[in-house]
Amino acid sequence: MEMQEILFYAILAFTIFSAAIVAFANKIIYSAFALLFTFIGFAGLYVFLGADFLAVTQIIIYVGGILVLILFGILLTQKIYDLKALAAHNPLFLSLSGGLFVAIILAVILSKNPWFRLVDKALNPTTSAIGKAILTDYLLPFEIASVLLLGALIGAVYLARVEGKKK
């Protein structure tokens, strides 16, 4: 087995293991830090798929943005000394059967299709091609996404502001 392959399967195992920690950890802060490692593992998989721009975007947006938001959300909403509230979960059996249902559907779909494709195409840098595609073929979704982000910005500020300062 080559070195690259060992690294690939190590990253796969790392990603799945930290995703499992996100799912099963008792304390929400452990879940958040495991989520950090899951995002980094996904960025490594994107590198193996030849998506260099997306790997960097994944780290910048997910780790630098969304994960920090989630950590702030945890820190602002936890009663740290209330241990019963920290470990509260829905019934494990129901959740496991729900997850198993999805897993069975996905396994059936995976096994019914001949998805063993091999490719040894050279990996090209994708950044300039993505930039060109965004400004030509994907211009309308790009503009709609910018309007959506503006709306989300205003909406988040409106929702999270402290009311009742006027009186």
Partner 1 sequence: MNSLLPYLITAGIVFTLGIFTIIYKKNAVGVLMGVELVLNSVNLNFIAFARFVDYQLNGQLISIFIIILAAAEAAIALAIILNIYRLKTTVDVTQVSEMKN
Task: Looking at residues 51 to 70 of the shown chain, list those that interact with partner 1 (rule: CB under 8 A).
Answer: 51, 53-54, 57-58, 61-62, 65-66, 69-70
> Residues in contact with partner 1, total (CB under 8 A)?
80
Enumerate residues 101-140 that contact partner 1 by CB under 8 A. Answer: 102-103, 106-107, 110, 115-121, 126, 129-130, 133-134, 138
User: Least distance to partner 1 from the beta carbon of 81, Å?
Assistant: 14
Torsion of CA 12, 18, 19, 22, to 10 degrees: 180
**In this structure, how many other beta carbons lie within 10 angstroms of the beta carbon of residue 36?**
17
Q: How would you label 153-167 residue by residue, b for 16+ Cβ within 10 Å and e otherwise?
A: eeeeeeeeeeeeeee
Q: Which is nearer to partner 1, 83 or 95 (CB)?
A: 95
Output the smallest distance, CB 8 to partner 1, in A.
Answer: 4
* Nearest C-alpha neighbor of 31 from the set 91, 71, 76, 64: 71
Residue pair 54/84 in contact by the 8 Å Cβ criterion: no
Residue 44 touching partner 1 (CB under 8 A): no
Q: Which of 3, 77, 122, 167 binds partner 1 (CB under 8 A)?
A: 77
Binding partner 1 (rule: CB under 8 A), the pick from 3, 140, 159, 165 is 159
